[in-house]
């Protein structure tokens, strides 16, 4: 599938823990600030947090699907269509803990809430320069985010929390 100029292409075999894999120029700091000040953002279960504490405020629809990995591990996929037109996906393990999230749409969701305690990794990367695409590879966090005005997408997952047999390449 062809990739646009603002999308991140995974780098295979060159990622080292704690290293930024790919950064392309534009204004991620501005995008992050806009995401933080956006009023009326829905509450999400952030990475590593329990789905049970999440709210479904300001969404036009919520769908929940049960899934099973190739190894037989159960997980839950919650898809939220926000009023802004952005779609957010949350993946939770059998205990209800979110191990992966993904987003795509015309506006960024509240990344501070969606990424939970992993948000600091994104802000640390944003401090490295003006960017619109970023890929973070660490033993405890994988994050890929790209976009421009009107078209944002990203995904993040916690490798140690992935259910056995879950392939993060299946994230939208």
Find, among 135, 126, 127, the residue nearest to 153 by Cα.
Answer: 135
CA distance 143 to 137: 7
Quick one: CA dihedral 105, 90, 114, 157, positive or negative? negative
The pLDDT-based confidence of 129 (bands split at 50, 70, 90) is low
Tell me: the pLDDT tens digits for 51-95?
765 554 466 788 999 999 999 999 999 999 999 999 999 999 999
Task: Please tell me the predicted confidence (pLDDT) of residue 43.
Answer: 55
DSSP state of 120: H
| Burial readout 130-162 (b: 16 or more C-beta within 10 A, e: otherwise) | ebbbbbbbbeebbbbbbbeeeebbbbbbbeebb
Residue 72 burial class via C-beta count within 10 angstroms: exposed 0-12, middle 13-18, buried 19 and up:
exposed
User: pTM surpassing 0.85?
Assistant: no
Task: Please tell me the predicted confidence (pLDDT) of residue 81.
Answer: 93
Phi and psi for 72 in degrees, rounded to 5? 90, 5
Contact 161, 93 (CB under 8 A): yes
| Burial readout 81-100 (b: 16 or more C-beta within 10 A, e: otherwise) | ebebebbbbbbbbeeebbbb
Neighbours of 164 (CB within 10 A): 9
Please determine, for residue 125, whether its predicted confidence score (pLDDT) is greater than 90. Answer: no
DSSP state of 76: E
Structure token digits, residue 65 = 């699907």
The separation between CA 84 and the C-alpha centre of its own chain, rounded to angstroms, equals 17
């Amino acid at each position: 599938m062809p990739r646009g100029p603002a999308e991140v292409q995974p780098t295979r075999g060159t990622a080292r823990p704690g290293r930024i894999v790919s950064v392309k120029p534009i204004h991620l700091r501005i995008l992050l600030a806009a995401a933080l000040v956006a009023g009326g953002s829905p509450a999400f279960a952030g990475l590593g947090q329990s789905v049970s504490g999440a709210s479904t405020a300001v969404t036009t629809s919520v769908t929940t699907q049960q899934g099973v990995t190739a190894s037989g591990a159960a997980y839950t996929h919650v898809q939220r269509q926000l009023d802004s037109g952005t779609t957010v996906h949350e993946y939770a393990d059998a205990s209800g803990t979110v191990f992966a999230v993904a987003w795509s749409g015309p506006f960024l969701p509240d990344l501070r809430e969606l990424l939970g305690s992993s948000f600091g990794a994104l802000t640390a990367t944003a401090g490295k320069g003006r960017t619109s695409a970023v890929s973070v590879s660490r033993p405890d966090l994988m994050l890929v985010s790209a976009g421009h005005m009107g078209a944002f997408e990203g995904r993040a997952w916690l490798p140690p929390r992935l259910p056995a047999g879950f392939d993060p390449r299946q994230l939208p």
